A and B are shown apart, each in its own frame.
Chain A
Amino acid sequence: MLKIAWRNILRNKRRSLLSLVLILISVAVLFLLRGYFSATYDGLELMAINQYSHLQIAKEGFWNEGSEERKILSSEDINKITKILDAKEEVIDYTNTLEIAGILGTEDRSTIVSGMGIETDNGQNLEIKSGTKLFAGDETRVIVGEGVRKKLHLKVDEWVSIMATTIDGAYNAGSLQLSGSFSVGNDDADSHYIMMPLSFAQTMLNTDGVDNFKVMLSDTELTDSTIQELKREFKREGLAVEVRSWRDLANFYHQVKGLYDTAFFFLSILVFILIFMSILEIMSMSFFERMGEIGTIRAIGTRRSQVFVQLIEEALILGIIGGIVGVALGWGAGVIINNLNITYTPPSSGAVPLYIKLALNNGITPFFIIILATTLSALYPALKASRLKVVEMLRHV
């Protein structure tokens, strides 16, 4: 019986081809879109992990907005946490940071900065624009965002002063020597970020504590399970700390993902409706033309259900072929796009290459959307055709 459905598809080649092309393009477009989105997610994930590490550990309440006092991990906390992290095989690296807000200035210029005390022996995943990054052993050197450097007209090795308030609220000031400038790929951030040795930041804030631990794992997949384990162990040690994953911390990741997911959802619905309406039209026409034929096969003993199945099969075959070839087509188009090295420039950022992630995974949703759309669109005409009275269909000839 599948044979009949198949031959009926071949019978009106132009119509079937039209349906097929429609399905094909839709699947390919959805596939490409998904490929682009998931490449973007991957990029964002990398960026988020770069910025936040896989997970962060901080004093309980650290991330609560509007909390009055500064929540800092004490040196006692630091020792305990260090011991636990050192025992974990999947933890490949960790580092401490301490945030410091203040004013950076020269004799005739100043600007508000948001500084970060970092362990200088740790890789600074930044694009260095001038000078050098910070090195182990640096104590009074600083690197600043390219925007900050420009605003203050700083030159490498020039001394700048920094003013901040200590944890207890006292005024404090110090001097730093410019080591270099960097960019994080975002103009806004580059115009107020600076980085200095952790020890300097601690002195400025008059503390021996840190804000947090930034922890890198051997595999991103291990993030959630490691967090669970750490939480248990911290609790056993009586540590009042919180653990957050890069996913919790990276707001931009969720914003973009949410936006893209919504966009994809609506586009999918659009494509679904488009395919549904066109196939409905095409199938109705095709079934209507074959009314007499359907009447005949009913008259010689084909059950309603068998007629129904046969007509649905036609749509299903089209959907499956269109789905598979569509994904293949999308894949081919993706390869071409990736090889063209197209770049685009989003606002307040550098050029980004347009990259399509090619994964069979990204074809699954488009494939099923299309199968669903074609099958559902054939449902009503098929049901109608199988329900009609045999005599009436025969008279239709």
Chain B
Amino acid sequence: MAIIKLENLSKTYSSQVEEVQALKNINLTIDKGDFIVVNGPSGSGKSTLLNLLAGIDEASLGDIQINNISLSSLSDRERTELRRNKIGLVFQYFELIPVLTAWENVEYPLLLQKVSKSERRRKVDRILEQVGLSKMAQRLPSQLSGGQKQRVAIARALVTDPEIVLADEPTGNLDTKTGEKIIELMLNLNREYNVAFVIVTHDLFVNKYAQKLIEIQDGILKIKEVNEYA
């Protein structure tokens, strides 16, 4: 079942100096529970693609449909609402709120959703347990290692039960071993919650987990392989 459809999507950045066509005529379907890995050299347009999917940037041409609703037809407020409820984001630099503890960081999206206190407690405790950070719950981000921070970020992305998690180089700042653990965590969560993941990465080891492996080069998207899992 398709949750996201990209149709003839193009993105051009124009500055006074030049025009950069970051994405050229992209077509892609993301199904529920997909585990998609996106490769590509630096500057090829990977982040651009994720930003468009997250609705924090606007396409120049073409359309993105999420659950059959065209993103371009939504107001800024509606897109914010969509990110809040349907999309989880994981960043290369973790991007936790520094003044909040791990627990509070994970709680934050639930506060935005106005979830009740008891429900928040239940959900946050559960997801922190799943990412293996129950013991670190009261620590501030500054007191956590990179891998731990990224686990908190993943917990924050998943706590709202989104339909899709978009991760831009989630292992980019982690050593290979930690990176591998993070990807495995994502894969487990992907299977358990049937949440779609789109992971942009330079790390080749990630590719072996991919259900759909995609490569972008100079703004052109190619689907390299599709693996079916049981």
Contacts and interface: CB of A to CB of B under 8 A. Distances in A.
Given A11-B98, A391-B51, A300 B56 contact: no
Interface stretch (B59-67, B74-82, B179-187): B74-82
Nearest to A290: B98
Contact of A293 (B56, B80, B97, B111): B97
Contacts of A299: 54, 56, 83, 89, 95
A1 interface: yes
Interface of B: 51, 54, 56-57, 76-77, 80-81, 83-85, 88-89, 91, 93, 95, 97-100, 104, 108-109, 111-112, 156-157
Given A297-B108, A299-B89, A300-B84, 12 more contacts: A4-B97, A4-B100, A293-B98, A297-B97, A298-B80, A299-B56, A300-B83, A301-B80, A301-B84, A301-B109, A389-B56, A397-B95
Interface string A97-123: 000000000000000000000000000
Interface string A188-212: 0000000000000000000000000
Nearest to A9: B99
25 contacts: A7-B99, A10-B99, A11-B98, A296-B95, A297-B97, A297-B108, A298-B56, A298-B80, A299-B83, A300-B88, A300-B108, A300-B112, A301-B80, A301-B81, A301-B85, A301-B109, A301-B112, A302-B84, A303-B77, A304-B76, A306-B112, A390-B56, A391-B51, A394-B56, A394-B91
Contact of B89 (A11, A300, A303): A300
A292 interface: yes
Interface of A: 1, 3-4, 7-8, 10-11, 292-293, 296-304, 306, 389-391, 394, 397
B142 to A, nearest CB: 11
Contacts of B56: 298-299, 389-391, 394
Q: Sorted from nearest, which 5 A-B pairs have the closest CB atoms?
A: A301-B84, A7-B99, A390-B56, A296-B95, A301-B83
Contacts of A298: 56, 80
Nearest to B160: A301
A21 to B, nearest CB: 22
Contacts of A303: 77, 80
Contacts of B108: 297, 300
A8 B99 contact: yes
Contacts of B81: 301
Interface of A is mostly: helix
A301 B109 CA distance: 7
Contacts of B109: 300-301
Q: Which of B54, B89, B99 has the most CB of A within 10 A?
A: B99
Contacts of A8: 99
Contacts of A1: 111
B83 A296 contact: no
Given A299-B56, A300-B108, A300-B109, A292 B95 contact: yes
